[in-house]
């Protein structure tokens, strides 16, 4: 039995243990993780780890000695398959069981798979774990053409890396534009143009019908209408399925319908006693999304929700209310976003798109709710406070890139 059992050795799970010890928590802590590795950073998987520029060892969230020194027991290579919420016990696939005082569910999710014919052929990959990328990399030598299904951040980052590695890349996006779920049209058009300038074929508004195969391996993707996009490798980046089956089976509220995951309150408590959920798998009412019930898939959210749980468990509770932020690296473009643009009613452009340094400021009812900043670190840093406090700034004033955003700070 451990005082705190954390399920999921990813960003949120690791950060929960880090924060608990930082706040002086003296109880016993164990982290149970399905992957064999110690907790590592996931963002490089589609960026410099995929390109080969970053070694895995440099992605560890903390070195092994950190966990040993702080007496955090790492139980990796084990999947929790059942939760007895009344008995406060979790069970693993290997037949072990561990009692808990508090349970923190930080399991993220697995890549959503295609449902069409050919989805399980060799050469079809998702990108979520180190293992996913290691396997993908071993196949790159024999690959000249890659089809990427899904024009979200992960798909576009992978496209940028693979184009730079000399592969012929086609991005297939069902929506009329890439990044449609997370950004406004200005950003989408910009990234589409950048990818095309780097030789990537970007196809929007297309429907994938099946993955075609030869001898059990992917050979192409068929689109509605019968067109075939030839490809020896298919990367699927169409979102995740939160890994919450065991928790739902134990009676936690949540479910399959959007946003999916497990429902939590503003202290990350699930409906089960002493059970918390954080990170990608936790559906919560987000103050920076107008209170909408959503899941946020970002390092920021996982880390800040981890801190929320740690504070509650150490007797200094503070509700979760953290400004969302995110980043994406493609080619030499550094995108930094702050806030959530969903629900905006106006988008203002600052800076020069042609010079590849600009920001899009999203407004709702006159208030700044989000910024997407491309090679524009200053706007990102100075815009954060505008989002945090929902400052009202006139659109024409925001559009004046000669005036720093800090001029609008209260």
Choice between 298 and 308, CB closer to ligand FAD: 298
CB of 65 to ligand FAD, least distance (A): 21
- 207-212's contacts with Cβ under 8 Å and 24+ in sequence apart are 207/174, 208/114, 208/116, 208/149, 208/172, 208/174, 209/116, 210/116, 210/117, 210/118, 211/114, 211/116, 211/117, 211/118, 211/119, 211/121, 211/124, 212/118
CB of 364 to ligand FAD, least distance (A): 22
Choice between 336 and 382, CB closer to ligand FAD: 336
In angstroms, the Cα distances linking 187 to 320, 336, 369, 399, 410 are 29, 12, 16, 15, 28
**Tokens (6 digits) for 382:** 């100075």
Choice between 108 and 351, CB closer to ligand FAD: 108
CB of 369 to ligand FAD, least distance (A): 18
Task: Specify the pairing of strand 145-149 against strand 254-255.
Answer: unpaired
Choice between 323 and 393, CB closer to ligand FAD: 323
Choice between 188 and 298, CB closer to ligand FAD: 298
Which parts of this chain interact with ligand FAD (CB under 6 A)?
7-13, 32-35, 42-43, 45-46, 79-80, 106-108, 127-128, 154, 243, 246, 279-281, 297-300, 302, 326-328
CB of 329 to ligand FAD, least distance (A): 7
Choice between 137 and 406, CB closer to ligand FAD: 137
CB of 295 to ligand FAD, least distance (A): 9
Phi-psi region of 162 (alpha: psi -120 to 50; beta: other; left: phi over 0): alpha
Which residues are 323's β-sheet partners? none
Q: What are phi and psi of 284, to 5 degrees?
A: -140, 160
Burial class (CB in 10 A: 0-12, 13-18, 19+), 52: exposed
Which residues are 293's β-sheet partners? 285
CB-nearest residue to ligand FAD: 10
CB of 105 to ligand FAD, least distance (A): 8
């Amino acid at each position: 039995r451990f005082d705190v059992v954390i399920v999921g050795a990813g960003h949120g799970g690791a950060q929960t243990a880090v924060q608990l010890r930082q706040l002086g928590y003296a109880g016993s802590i164990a982290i149970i993780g399905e992957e064999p590795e110690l907790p590592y950073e996931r963002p490089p998987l589609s960026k410099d780890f995929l390109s080969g520029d970053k070694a895995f060892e440099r992605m560890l969230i903390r070195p092994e000695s950190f966990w040993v020194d702080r007496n955090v027991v790492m139980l990796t290579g084990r999947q929790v398959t059942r939760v007895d919420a009344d008995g406060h016990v979790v069970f693993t696939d290997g037949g072990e069981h561990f009692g808990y005082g508090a349970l923190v569910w930080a399991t993220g999710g697995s890549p959503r798979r295609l449902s069409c014919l050919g989805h399980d052929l060799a050469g079809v990959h998702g990108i979520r774990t180190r293992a996913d990328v290691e396997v993908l990399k071993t196949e790159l030598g024999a690959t000249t053409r890659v089809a990427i299904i899904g024009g979200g951040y992960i798909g576009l980052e992978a496209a940028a890396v693979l184009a730079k590695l000399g592969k012929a890349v086609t991005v297939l996006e069902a929506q009329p534009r890439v990044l449609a779920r997370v950004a406004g049209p200005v950003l989408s058009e910009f990234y589409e143009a950048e990818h095309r300038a780097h030789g990537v074929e970007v196809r929007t508004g297309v429907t994938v019908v099946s993955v075609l195969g030869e001898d059990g391996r992917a050979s192409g993707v068929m689109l509605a209408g019968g067109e075939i996009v030839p490809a020896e490798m298919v990367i699927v980046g169409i979102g995740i399925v939160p890994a919450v089956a065991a928790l739902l089976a134990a009676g936690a509220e949540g479910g399959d319908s959007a946003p999916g995951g497990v429902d939590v309150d503003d202290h990350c408590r699930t409906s089960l006693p002493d059970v918390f959920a954080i990170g990608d798998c936790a559906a919560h009412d987000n103050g920076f999304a107008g209170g909408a019930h959503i899941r946020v898939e970002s390092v920021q959210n996982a880390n800040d929700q981890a801190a929320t749980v740690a504070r509650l468990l150490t007797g200094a509770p503070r509700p979760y209310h953290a400004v969302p932020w995110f980043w994406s690296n493609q080619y030499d473009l550094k995108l930094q976003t702050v806030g959530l643009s969903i629900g905006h009613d106006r988008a203002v452009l600052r800076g020069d798109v042609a010079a590849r340094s600009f920001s899009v400021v999203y407004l709702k009812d006159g208030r700044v709710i989000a910024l997407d900043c491309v090679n524009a670190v200053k706007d990102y840093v100075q815009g954060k406070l505008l989002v945090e406090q929902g400052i009202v700034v006139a659109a024409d004033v925001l559009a004046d890139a000669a005036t720093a955003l800090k001029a609008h700070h209260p």
